Amino acid sequence: MNLIWLQRLTCSGNTHSLLSSEDANLVFEEFEVLFHPSFSVESEEEVIKKVLKKGKLNILVVEGAINKEDDIVKKLCKIADYVIAVGSCAVYGNLPALKDKDVSGLQFRFKEKGGILGKSFISRKGYPVINLSGCPANPEWITGTLLKIKSKRKLNLDELGRPKEYYNSLAHWGCSRNEFFEWKVEAKSLGKEKGCLFYHFGCRGPLTHSTCNVILWNGVNSKTRAGTPCFGCTEYDFPRENLWETKQYAGIPAELPLGVSKRGYIMVSGMAKMFAPERLKNED
């Protein structure tokens, strides 16, 4: 299978995320990479000209937000069997789209479906744009999705075009601070081993679709395990304003864990707080 990886308005973070996977070489082994701007010796223009002339391409990966005038990307999407948007810029537009109306993701502009390809875009193999959101996407999501396509297994995508195996669960799953969340023991300050960051420090773990705490970053860690709140970078509203603070109404987080009712939350958290074990509250 051949592959073209293009970069547009990007920090190259997803390329470096790919290189941070132990399986990166497997991708270079399994795919014939026709072009990648960070690695290729050939010029982008020439490679694309050849590919368009042939009218055939197996996989197109786009990293970075795209200007709506970008005909090259549109043309390549039309002939590609699979189109992958890697990283939240290519998926939603993200940072580069915040101050520029002409910039968007491939099939979305923030939460609005459409992007530069339009709502109804389907690639040759019958999929919408396969969206690997994240700023950047976790290394294993990139290699895993590419290798799954190669193995011809069916992809199950959510309503945002993201593979369910990586985006059906929450960043909260597997967080090492889960017990503090359970018993509503709040972190009093940053830089502490104990306490949950959801109540005061803006953690989006219970609201963010990702497997960052199950498929660990660089195989060893995650933001929340390192005491940093999850900033929800796989969702369309990243980067929200005031990222390090939880907005509250009358002491209750303005946004509750996904699918939890206010009534349920107040009941459960009140009980949890009342019966929280002392060992969780004491600073060592």
Partner 1 sequence: MKIEKQVLTRVEGEAVLHLEWDKGKIIDAKINIPNTRGIEKVLEGRPFMDALVINPRVCGICGHAHLIATAMALEKVLGIESISTKAKIVRSITQLTEMIQNHIKWFYFFVMPDFVKINENLNEYKSFKGVQWRKAVSISSEIVKVIALFAGQWPHSSYAIPGGITSTFGEREVFRAKNYIKKTKDFFLKEVVGIDEEEFLKLRKKGNFGELKGDFGRFLELVYENEMHNIGKAYNRFLSGGGLYLCLKPSYKKGKGRRCKFNVEEVKELNPPDYTKARPVRYKGLPYETGPLARQLLYKNPFVKKLYSLYEDSYLTRVSARVLEIWELLSLIEKLLEKLIEHLDEKSFEGEINKQASGQGVSFIEAARGTLIHKVVVEKGKIMKYEIITPSQWNLGPRCNKYLGVAEKAIIGLDSELKAEMVLRSFDLCSVCTTH
Does residue 25 interact with partner 1 by CB under 8 A? Answer: yes
- Which of 2, 30, 40, 113 is in the footprint of partner 1 by CB under 8 A? 40
Q: Which long-range contacts (C-beta less than 8 Å, at least 24 apart) are formed by 186-192? A: 190/227, 191/227, 192/227, 192/283
Stretch that binds partner 1, among 36-44, 54-62, 157-165, 272-280 (CB under 8 A): 36-44
Q: Scanning residues 157 to 186, which ones bind partner 1 (CB under 8 A)?
A: none
Q: Least distance (Å) from partner 1 to the CB of residue 228?
A: 5
Candidates 19-27, 111-119, 153-161, 255-263; binding stretch for partner 1 (CB under 8 A): 19-27
- Restricting to residues 213-272, which ones interact with partner 1 according to CB under 8 A? 217-228, 231, 233, 239, 241-245
Report DSSP state, residue 216: -
Q: Does 189 bind partner 1 (CB under 8 A)?
A: yes
* Distance of alpha carbon 273 from alpha carbon 202, whole angstroms: 19
- Shortest approach of partner 1 to residue 21 CB, angstroms? 6
Under the binding rule (CB under 8 A), the answer on residue 45 touching partner 1 is yes
Closest CA to 247 of 183, 270, 237: 237
Number of residues that bind partner 1 (CB under 8 A): 62
Please name the helix (run of DSSP H) or strand (run of DSSP E) that holds residue 155, with its range, or none: none
Q: What is the smallest separation between the CB atom of 101 and partner 1, expressed in angstroms?
A: 12
How many angstroms separate the CA atoms of 101 and 98, rounded? Answer: 8
Contact 88, 237 (CB under 8 A): no
Kindly tell me which residue out of 1, 2, 28, 252 binds partner 1, with binding defined by CB under 8 A: 28
Taking the CA atoms of residue 81, residue 110, residue 214 and residue 25 in that order, the dihedral angle to the nearest 10 degrees is 40
Please list the helix, strand and coil fractions of the chain in percent, rounded to the nearest 5, in that order. 30, 15, 50
Two tokens at 151?
């193995």
Q: Which residues bind partner 1 (CB under 8 A)?
A: 7, 9-17, 19-22, 24-25, 28, 33, 37-45, 65, 95-96, 98-100, 135-136, 139, 189-193, 212, 217-228, 231, 233, 239, 241-245
